[in-house]
A and B are shown apart, each in its own frame.
Chain A
Amino acid sequence: MFLVSATFLAGLILLGVPWWLHRLSAHASEQRTFSSLFLMRPSEAPVHIRRKLQHLWLLALRLLLLSVACFAFAQPILELAGSADIEATSVPDRVIVLDTSLSMNRSGSGERAFSEAQQIARELVRTLPPGGRAAVVTVDNRIELNAPLTDDRARLNAAISASQPGAARLILDGLLGRIANLTGTLASPGEELEVHLISDFQATAMPDQFNALIEGSIWPVTLHAVSGDRPNWAVTHLALRGNTIPSKDAPADAIVEVTVRGYATQAQAVDVILEQNGTPIGQRNVRVPADGTTTTQFELPPAGRGHITWLAHLGINDALDDDNTRRLVQADREQTELVVITTKERPYAYLRAAVQAAATSFVPVMKTTLDDLTVPVVVVADPGVLASGTERELVRFLETGGAVLLIAGPATRAAGRLPILDVALAPSRFDQTSRGIVAVDRSHPVLSGFAAWRDLSVFQVVKRAEPETGDVILALDDDTPLLVEYPVGAGRLMVLTTALDPEWSSLVVRPAFVAFMANLLGYLAEDLLPSEALVGQAFAIPAQSVQLIDAAGTRVLGLADTVGRPTVSVATPGVYQLRTPSRTRPLAVNTDLRESDLRRAPDELLARWQAATTQPSRQTSTTFTSSTPTSTSDTTHHQPLAAWLLALLALLVFAEPLLANNGPTTRLPREAVGT
């Protein structure tokens, strides 16, 4: 008979009968409901306690009686394991985690820190017990599995040898949680793992709160620290000040500032070399104080137009090479023509005022046709008046990678059609009720720096007759689109559904309009491309398609990373080229300065971390047991239990009336209790 048998389960329902009877008894006493008994302590009145205990004993006896009756008639059989059965034990597998951050590339006393880490890892592989398995994982800003759990020592050693430190930063905050997530896919249920973390444990990598070090840890962790502090110098700051392009009003007075810092160093003189577009143009010998900072300046000759790349590097042989060079890109600020196609002076005046007030590189020019397809952005104010030839030119301009901003107006509404997209507009009327503005896509670069749209009101918009198909960036609070982006060919089309007119919206008379237009035009002209980044740091590129080319001319982004305002990160420092359909701009990628300070975290902190991760909650043992799980015997003995249960049942049937008749006492009046 199985325990899920209907008759057996029906018998168990009988257990509810005494339970219900005892609850009836409990209801006889007066009760009051209180929020929580969390802070309450029971009364010490003895009469209540004794009576309650006797009732519970009786209830337990009755429940036991019924349970035994049910089990006895179910005729259970006890399955006993054979005598050869011994406790099965498992071997904890080792997960060897190697820190491959920039600081592990340090050298000193003739040996790299990472070589020392590799030696520790190989020793862990060598000391594996027979049949024991291990995995090799590397961590910096990412975590990678270099060798899965295996007992193939040659494969493990090859994975250790193939691992090399990069230029990214390791953050210890939450690292054990990330390792646990990765190893969770390695171990089968019931398998035990132990983690060996080999790192330099930089003080700068430690989180503010200790809990972040152990958060998410589910396996025992052993910390292995490689050799200690090394003195190191780094270029911590490279900045350009003043004007590099002379004009009639402003002569060239540019200065390049270079700051050098020593970490755990003695006072020493260091050569600082400055390069402009790959050509050395200056050298200084500066004295860096012990564990301190010094700044030097280079006066520069006038430079030509175009993007300029600056490099400052140190002529010193220290622990880390990568942080001895710092790069800076000076973006070209050449003025660009902004074609505004309109026949009305009013929207053009608002647009011109905003562009000039925002100090952008655009020079607005009012035109009625598009005769130059080399400009990056064209603004069409009230496009209902567009001639068909101009509209065709704009479509061609867009398909070849241009950007167009369509701003609605009375003529657009009267025409009942949105040019370029060739979609019908719904009939609309002047509405005295103003609408608020809601940011739909807060992450969009156009809205960068705009936290609130309070006090902006829109009175009139044009609205598509069909449902919206573009990406809505701004909308009214009744969900009517206000700013919509459409990809057209290789280019981008933005549609602002209200006019640059105070009778249509209050946008043009608010200060936010200036920054909004600067962002909008900058985005369309791809002027918002970043010019600097850190190794391993993810950064967004506000362009619909982009390619990233390294100094050797190799593309470093995968196909999936190149479309739709991608977020990318770069693994090695250097000067890269960001290419969009209409722009190319250099990108300076530097190392994270927190990797330059090679001082280790205090030993007390590491000891506390080690102690906290030796016995995580899920683990019971951190030591190896036997090499293989011991097999269990397949010999079993079947022992019927019915006879024993019937004997127990007879005993309980005899005991129940004895306890019921002699045990419980008469309940005393409630008022007499505790008084």
Chain B
Amino acid sequence: MTTTTPVHTLAPGRVHQRLIEPTVLAQLANLELVARSVVEGTLVGLHRSPTFGFSQEFAEYRAYMPGDDLRYIDWNVYARTDKTYIKRFFGDTNCQLMVLIDTSASMDPPEFPSPGAVSKIDYARFFSAALVYLAARQHDAVGLLAFNEGIGLYRPPATKAATVRTLYHELDRLRSTGGTDWQKALEHVQGRLRKKSLLVVISDFYTEPDDLAQVLLGLAARGHDLLLVHVLDPGERQVRLKTAATLRDAETGEVMEVSPDELATDYPDRLRNHVEALKKLTIGMGGHYLQVDTDQPLDRTLSGYLRFRARHP
């Protein structure tokens, strides 16, 4: 594939070049490089958390005061100066992240993506890779479930570097096909996750919110934090037809004749109501909802995720 964008525009640490178009990322063959570009680019410029903790990243020295934990006295300094100081560190997180990717046929219909966007499955793969990279960077356990009408892939959460590298390869191999069985996918996760986890569900959510609520409730009831990432192609938000056409459902094969007037007037309202219903459902379960378009820079999507994490440490 011919690339027209110089590679140096992806170098991390360049704040003014942070927002990277998904189509540019799609030109990179290495998914890990995509993830690193997105994550490092997003983190640059963010303010560091003011929360101090006793993890591994050194922040500052402070004189020992009665009541401080004796374990954090730096005895090397004490040996040299005969004064007691304690070391303070930036707080880190240690949670378990489970990424669920919908790989049904609707995630990559043949006549998409729209110009300037990537396919929904590619966007989901990039975003998942960024989450995996971010989790590995924070030493969080991360796992992956790819599903359509069955369970295509399941990797339980792990922190080992080799396992994380395997996840990039697995993500690289994901292809969209078949229908969607939410119940099977979420019951699969529910039966295997014993520890409370952060579940990031990436899909186009073409399903009844009430049906989805029934399966998500079980996960929310077990204390898992939910983040629903609703991926839409710009061409799905505004379907433009000059004349009536026959549309075929990518998953079910159902055929329907539609008129351009209806698509211009009623369809956007139904889509908006659907998005609102999903948002209400998610918030009602204490989760978080993130709607993204596939032409939206991944950095921005990741920032949304980080805001969610800030509220759900």
Please report A residues at the B interface, Cβ cutoff 8 Å. Answer: 26, 29-45, 48, 209, 211-212, 215, 353, 357-359, 436, 438-439, 451-456, 477, 509-512, 514-515, 518, 670-671, 673-675
Contacts and interface: CB of A to CB of B under 8 A. Distances in A.
8 contacts: A32-B245, A35-B120, A36-B106, A43-B259, A451-B55, A670-B245, A674-B259, A675-B243
Given A35-B204, A452-B139, A477-B160, A674 B243 contact: yes
B258 A40 contact: yes
Contact of A36 (B162, B206, B217, B258): B206
**Can you list the 6 inter-chain pairs with the closest CB atoms, starting with the nearest?**
A674-B244, A36-B206, A451-B94, A43-B259, A35-B106, A455-B56
A305 B249 CA distance: 79
Interface of B: 54-57, 70-76, 87, 89, 92, 94, 106-107, 109-112, 120, 139, 159-162, 204, 206-207, 217-218, 221, 233, 236, 239, 243-252, 254-262, 266-267, 270-271, 274
B75 A357 contact: yes
A673 B259 CA distance: 9
Contacts, number: 148
Given A454-B57, A455-B57, A515-B71, A35 B236 contact: yes
A36 B249 contact: yes
Contacts of B239: 34
Contacts of A675: 243-244
Residue from the set B89, B250, B257, B270 with the largest chain A CB neighbour count within 10 Å:
B257
A34 B247 contact: yes
A215 B218 contact: yes
A35 B244 contact: no
Given A357-B73, A454-B92, A510-B56, A33 B258 contact: no
A40 B256 contact: yes
Contacts of B111: 32-34
Contacts of B260: 674
A454 B204 CA distance: 36
Contacts of A37: 247, 249, 252, 254, 256
B75 A43 contact: no
A14 to B, nearest CB: 23
A511 B244 contact: no
Contacts of B250: 33-36
Given A31-B246, A673-B244, A675-B244, A38 B255 contact: no
A42 B270 CA distance: 14
Contact of B247 (A33, A439, A515, A673): A33
Given A32-B111, A39-B267, A438-B160, A511 B246 contact: no
Contact of A35 (B74, B94, B112, B217): B112
Nearest to A475: B160
Contact of A26 (B217, B255, B259): B255
Most chain B beta-carbon neighbours within 10 Å: one of A39, A451, A452, A454: A39
A39 B106 contact: no
Contacts of B92: 451-452, 454
Contact of B244 (A45, A454, A477, A515): A45
A42 B159 contact: no
Given A35-B206, A36-B249, A358-B71, A43 B233 contact: no
A36 B253 CA distance: 9
B94 to A, nearest CB: 4
A31 B255 contact: yes
A503 to B, nearest CB: 15
Nearest to B241: A32
B247 A43 contact: no
B110 to A, nearest CB: 5
Nearest to B70: A359
A511 B72 contact: yes
B246 to A, nearest CB: 5
A421 B271 CA distance: 69
Given A26-B255, A33-B109, A671 B243 contact: yes
B233 A45 contact: no
B20 to A, nearest CB: 25
Contacts of B73: 357
A436 B112 CA distance: 43
A34 B263 CA distance: 13
Given A357-B70, A359-B70, A32 B247 contact: yes
Interface centre among A36, A357, A358 (most CB of B within 10 A): A36
B206 A29 contact: no
A453 B138 CA distance: 11
Contacts of A209: 221
A510 B87 CA distance: 10
B247 A38 contact: no
Nearest to B106: A35
A359 B73 CA distance: 12
Given A36-B204, A211-B217, A30 B245 contact: yes
B247 A40 contact: yes
Contacts of A671: 243
Contacts of B56: 452-456, 510, 512
A673 B261 CA distance: 12
Contacts of A357: 70-71, 73, 75
Nearest to A52: B257
A673 B256 CA distance: 14
Contacts of A215: 218, 221
Contacts of B107: 35
Nearest to B273: A39
A333 B109 CA distance: 69
A586 B260 CA distance: 79
A511 B54 contact: yes
Contact of B162 (A44, A211, A477, A512): A477
B254 A45 contact: no
Given A37-B247, A455-B56, A673-B243, A43 B266 contact: no
Contacts of B243: 670-671, 673-675
Given A35-B233, A438-B159, A674-B260, 9 more contacts: A33-B247, A36-B204, A37-B252, A41-B266, A45-B257, A357-B75, A438-B161, A454-B57, A454-B92
